[in-house]
Structure formats: C-alpha cells, structure tokens
Structure 1
Amino acid sequence: MITKEDVEHVGWLARIEIDEKDADEYASQLNDVLNHFEQLDEVDTENVPPTYHVIDLVNVFREDVARESLTQDKALENTSSSKEGYFKSYRII
C-alpha cells in the first residue's frame, strides 16, 4: 500500500512540491492503480502463450545498400532559397 509519506518522498526525489491534500489524493489514486493490477494477477493465464506484440510483425527495415547520393544541384532543386550551393535559412541567434 502506498502511503501519503511515500508520495511525499517521491515528490521530494523528483523535486516536486506536493501539498498534504494532494499527497492524500495521489496516494489514493496510486493505490487504485495497484488494485487494478492485483485483479490482473488473478486472471488464469496458464494456457495462454506469451506474446510480445499482439500483431505478428517482422523486421520491416530495408536492406542497407550503398548507392550514389544526390548531386548538389539535384539536392537544391526544390529549395526556395539557396546561396553559393548551400541551403539558405533564417539566422538563428
């Protein structure tokens, strides 16, 4: 069971100021969450195979193949602003 003191301690560790009223409320809410997990522990999963993902996916990455890159002119073809062969952007200070 999570107590008000536990909530205050975690708040102190996280450098979050929690007043007493909120600490009581958070403790109650966190205990409700833990009670839901206890209900899940009661479910019979004896004959259920473990799953790591509900959809059977395989690696969708493409093969890493070296190929010729874009030329400088081709890379700058769609930009609205370039200068001396480079992308031109706003000054950021």
Structure 2
Amino acid sequence: MSLTTDDVKKVARLARLAISDSEVQAAQVQLNGIFELIAEMQAVDTTGIEPMSHAQDVTQRLREDNVTETNQRELFQSIAPQVEAGLYLVPQVIE
C-alpha cells in the first residue's frame, strides 16, 4: 500500500496539522517506508511460534509470602476521631 499526496493531506487535515507541500512530500516518503516495513513483517511465516511477553526468557525471583508486621489495627483505630464496628467514619462530603 502506498499513499498519495492527497492521502497525506487528508491525514494531516484529520490530525489538525498544517503542513506545506514540501512537508507533504517528506511525510509521504516516510509513511510509505513505514507501510513497506509493515508489509515485510506481515510476510514472515510465524506458524508454530508462540507469542512472547518479553524478548528474553526471564523470570523474577519470588519470595515467600509471609507476614512481616504485627496487626496494629486497634492502635491505629484508637487515635481515629470516629470508628464504628471496625470502620472509619468520615463526615458526609457530597449532599
């Protein structure tokens, strides 16, 4: 697929870009180059290749999911202005 100068002008207008005729020619060359690259990549046979989430097969070291701090809920709620049934009560903001 190759773009014409009219296509480039239309895309520029839709993108609200003001470009001159010389810029239209440069943009046309660049966009056509991008479309050629896309066509090359689509031509590659990828059957049997699994999708990858990362270019390198790396994994993160995981640690044990252990509790490292004590439960201080009662201490934190003891200094709160209003607490009811373990919930913090706040004034109504929206009427």
Gaps of 5+ in 2: 66-70, 73-95
What's 1:25 paired with?
A: 26
Structure with higher Rg: it is: 2
Give the alignment's Cα RMSD to 1 decimal: 2.8
Query: TM-score normalized by structure 2?
Result: 0.52
* 3-state SS of paired residue (1:53): coil
* 3-state SS of paired residue (1:37): helix
Residue 6 in 1 paired to residue 13 in 2?
Answer: no
Q: Deviations over 1:34-61 (max 9, x none)?
A: 1011111121211211223335567x9x
Residue 41 in 1 paired to residue 4 in 2?
Answer: no
Report the Cα distance in structure 1 between the residues aligned to 2:49 and 2:16, rounded to whole angstroms.
42
Number of equivalent positions: 64
User: Residue type of the partner of 1:23?
Assistant: V
Q: Deviations over 1:16-73 (max 9, x none)?
A: 1111111011111100111011111121211211223335567x9xx9xxx87xxxxx
Distance 1:24 1:47, change over 3 A: same
Identity rate of aligned residues, in percent? 26
Query: TM-score normalized by structure 1?
Result: 0.53
